[in-house]
Chains A and B, each alone.
Chain A
Amino acid sequence: MAEPVLEIRDLHKRFGALKATDGVSLDLRPGEIHALIGPNGAGKSTLIHQICGTLRQDSGAIRLAGQEIGALSVAERARLGLGRTFQISSLIGAFSALRNVMLAVQAGAGSSFRFFRPVMRDRGLRDQAMARLERVGLAARAHVPASDLSHGEKRQLEIAIALALDAKAFLLDEPMAGMGPEGSKVLTGFLDSLRHEAPILLVEHDMDAVFALADRISVLVYGRVIATGTVEEIRRDPTVRTAYLGDHV
């Protein structure tokens, strides 16, 4: 079996008496989409926060491409290749879609401590950013301020930004949230092709998308992973059925 790209070992996080993350172990292998599902309050967000560094775990290890990242800052983890999107779109509102992506290309290309050359005349940055926008189908809206984009377009822009980071692993937090059925279908098709670029840890409530995309699924309930397996295994798993899926299957 190939070395996992992202590896989480025995992660714990408590808030007072509440065990938000209770011994979670997960891995993300090359080329796969690993979906993380669970009812509201299962601790999915807390887990995501610990992976990308906005929350610090109490104990346990997080490794990206074999390197321990559990003590690094958000920015350092991103530079090592953790590309995330946000559950609620988090963009630079006054910047155009293009500038949002250019900023990410700039971050990946190294120094932001360049004071004189105008960014907008930086051909390299522009072309790379434009290529990312084309991939997510947003090129025609490149010069629209991010705050004026539609909800669906903002989700697309989030993904273009993650793409621009040339990430080793994607961490997509509910990319389908608030998308119409048509939009979800297009995005599902897109994510399907994305897994070959880098594996995806996908947190998603849209079960149709999860079942269509996931190579493996982990089910999180009360801060614990109660099952990990292929789509079929999870569908059949009786504990998962009672705990979560209910009549959805």
Chain B
Amino acid sequence: MNRETRVNLLLLVLLLAVPFVADALGQTFTVTLVTRIAILALAAVGLNIALGLGGLVSFGHAAFFGIGGYAAGILASHAMSGEPMLFGFEGSAQMPVIWIVAMLAAGLVSLAIGVISLRTSGVYFIMITLAFAQMVYYFAISWPAYGGEDGLSITLRNGFPGLNTMRPTEFFLVCFGVLAVALVLSALLSASRFGAALQAARQNEVRLASIGIAPMPIRLTAFVLSAMITAVAGALYADLNRFVSPSMLSWHMSGELIVLVILGGTGRLMGPVAGAALFVLLEFWLGGITERWQFFLGLILLVTVLFARGGVIGLFAGKERHG
């Protein structure tokens, strides 16, 4: 087992153990905190596929995060009121159904956004993804049926077969489970043929084309997969807060997700988990000391970008290895 695998396992074990210890000690707040870490990590695992492996700096992933959130909110509200929505579908308060809807919705939207945005690159790609996300944001604000600017409450956290999701540790288990599945998928993906082509597209697009692999379809697929994973995180995030509002769709959220990926280690399997953990803990501790905690977050980000490109994972596990 190499060093990175050991660091990764340690992180996962810690993430899994802390909530149960905290719960035994009656520290419910800590359970919520770690659940938040797991969910943000999941969102960043999604973004990491586009940004880390594919080099696609999407500044619009809040759109997919928010679409996931609204999928949870809207389906739950219909299930609650019994009012049918499209095609007589009466909504659902079951997480698996919500996740599928969230993935489908985000998949379709990201396909449309990707087809247009991926014609550009560099700064233009960043700006065009931002622009699309802002369109979704303003759409949510001006759509009164689901709360508009005020957002939408989820009265009862949506359910998962066999578990009581109102109990913090059980809801945490759901989030951790989804995160684990996403990590396995992400590991398989990056080692696969597709992953090889995607990473090649990031490093040398001309080379990739000249051996006969068109970069566009590879990138588009990565972008859509990335969005779908982030959407599931959005649905869980809405369930965690039992509330969804346009702020989930705002560009702050997009920026936060990019920060998570960079802090943890761009393109590294567990980078998003390490990044999310660091981010949430900093927010909690520094936020307790000073209101201007983001100033210090900025400093840390600066140091990471200047001196520790591999992020937290790079710090503990060394440089990335390619076969």
- Residues of A whose CB lies within 8 Å of any CB of B are 52, 54, 73-76, 78-79, 84, 86, 90-96, 98-99, 102-104, 106-108, 111-120, 122, 143, 145, 161, 164-165
Residue of B nearest to A93 (CB): B203
Q: Is B21 on the interface with A (CB-CB < 8 A)?
A: no
Q: Is the CB of B322 within 8 A of A94?
A: yes
A52 to B188, CA, bound (A): 33
**Interface size of B as a range:** 20 to 34
- Residues of B whose CB lies within 8 Å of any CB of A are 188-189, 191-197, 199-200, 203-204, 206-215, 217-218, 221, 320, 322-323
Given the known interface contacts A93-B203, A93-B204, the answer about A119 and B196 at a Cβ–Cβ threshold of 8 Å is yes
A169 to chain B, nearest CB (A): 13
CB contacts (< 8 Å) of A120 on chain B: these are 191, 323
Q: Which of A112, A115, A164 contacts B189 (CB 8 A)?
A: A115
Given the known interface contacts A92-B207, A116-B188, A145-B322, the answer about A75 and B214 at a Cβ–Cβ threshold of 8 Å is yes
Residue of A nearest to B192 (CB): A115
Given the known interface contacts A94-B322, A120-B191, the answer about A113 and B214 at a Cβ–Cβ threshold of 8 Å is no
A115 to B207, CA, bound (A): 21
A188 to chain B, nearest CB (A): 24
Given the known interface contacts A93-B204, A95-B322, the answer about A161 and B211 at a Cβ–Cβ threshold of 8 Å is yes
CB contacts (< 8 Å) of A54 on chain B: these are 206
CB contacts (< 8 Å) of A103 on chain B: these are 196-197, 200, 208, 211, 213
B28 to chain A, nearest CB (A): 39
CB contacts (< 8 Å) of B211 on chain A: these are 78, 103-104, 107-108, 161, 164-165
CB contacts (< 8 Å) of B195 on chain A: these are 115, 119
Residue of B nearest to A80 (CB): B212
CB contacts (< 8 Å) of A145 on chain B: these are 322
A93 to B188, CA, bound (A): 22
Given the known interface contacts A73-B214, A79-B212, the answer about A111 and B193 at a Cβ–Cβ threshold of 8 Å is yes
A143 to B214, CA, bound (A): 26
CB contacts (< 8 Å) of B214 on chain A: these are 73, 75-76
In the assembled complex, 21 residue pairs joining A and B whose CB atoms fall closer than 8 Å, in A order, are A75-B209, A78-B212, A86-B207, A90-B206, A91-B204, A92-B200, A95-B200, A95-B203, A102-B196, A103-B197, A103-B211, A106-B197, A107-B197, A107-B213, A112-B218, A113-B193, A113-B217, A113-B221, A119-B191, A119-B323, A165-B212
A26 to B188, CA, bound (A): 47
A98 to B192, CA, bound (A): 15
* Ranked 9 nearest A-B pairs via Cβ: A78-B212, A75-B214, A79-B212, A74-B209, A118-B191, A112-B197, A120-B323, A107-B212, A114-B193
A120 to B194, CA, bound (A): 12
